[in-house]
Amino acid sequence: MSHNNENILEIEDLGVSFDGFKAVDGFNFYLARNHIHVIIGPNGAGKTTVLDLICGKTNATSGSIKFHGKEMRGKREYRIVRAGIGRKFQNPSIYENLTVFENLELSHPTGRGVLGCLLFRRTAEILNQCNSVAEQIGLSDRLDTEAGILSHGQKQWLEIGMLLMQNPEVIMLDEPVAGMSVRERTATAELIRRIAKNRSVIVIEHDMEFVREIADRVTVMHLGKILSEGSMDKVSQDPKVIDVYIGH
């Protein structure tokens, strides 16, 4: 696997043990700029743990995580977020009693209620960003809707929007289409492709049809290790991958 400037994130020999159990072991991962890189694998393969390691929620026991060539391993979660790596968890953490607009607004890194002479300019800037993000997540006509009454899919999109408000260079999504209708899945695939035009996206997903729709590159994990990597066509024809999926 090559190392070059096109890789925004370079992960090498990443590992973590929980009481001697290696949940992730010798994990190498190169995320290209503006790519959608999907991680698949059976339950318990270590996919979510990889995201926990990248975002600093879990400390690695070996390896390195380089973002723009800078070591991220060992940094605190908030620093990793500030550096430009955003992560969406499986359950939405939106404010149900606030509107879509308010949820987006409070996710802006400068926060609200900025005092002094910058107030007007900041507010206009935040307003523009809320509108632009709402467009990207397909909720432009729902800005005044209370988040609590959105559909399951719309809530997931809102949370992606809340991440986008911080304009991260890398977004990580853990099973973004779980529980969604077919129509919502299609819309989510389009949404992910839209947001990947100027950032890189790591997606964990089970739904192979969905993966085929979005993936520029696929990494298959099994028992904490990488089983296969490459294009969707390549990995889906890999006998090792077929074995694992038919075996489950």
Only one of the segments 39-47, 87-95, 103-111, 133-141 lies at the binding site for ligand ADP (rule: CB under 6 A); that segment is 39-47
Rounded to the nearest whole angstrom, what is the least distance from the CB of residue 139 to ligand ADP in the complex? 28
111 touches ligand ADP by CB under 6 A: no
43 belongs to the binding site for ligand ADP (CB under 6 A): yes
Check if the beta carbon of residue 13 is closer than 8 Å to that of residue 63. yes
Q: Which of 15, 46, 153, 168 binds ligand ADP (CB under 6 A)?
A: 46
User: Is 217 near ligand ADP (CB under 6 A)?
Assistant: no
- Distance, CA of 159 to CA of 162 (rounded, Å): 5
Are 60 and 26 in contact, with CB atoms under 8 Å apart?
Answer: no
Contacts with 229 (C-beta within 8 Å, 6 or more apart), sequence order: 217, 218, 219, 220, 235
Residue type, 121: R
Q: Which of 3, 6, 13, 18 binds ligand ADP (CB under 6 A)?
A: 18
Of 43-51, 61-69, 74-82, 111-119, the window that binds ligand ADP (rule: CB under 6 A) is: 43-51
Both tokens of residue 14?
């990443």
Member of 14, 30, 31, 48 binding Mg ion (CB under 5 A) = 48
In this structure, the strands spanning 225-230 and 62-67 are unpaired
Applying CB under 5 A, the residues found at the interface with Mg ion are: 47-48
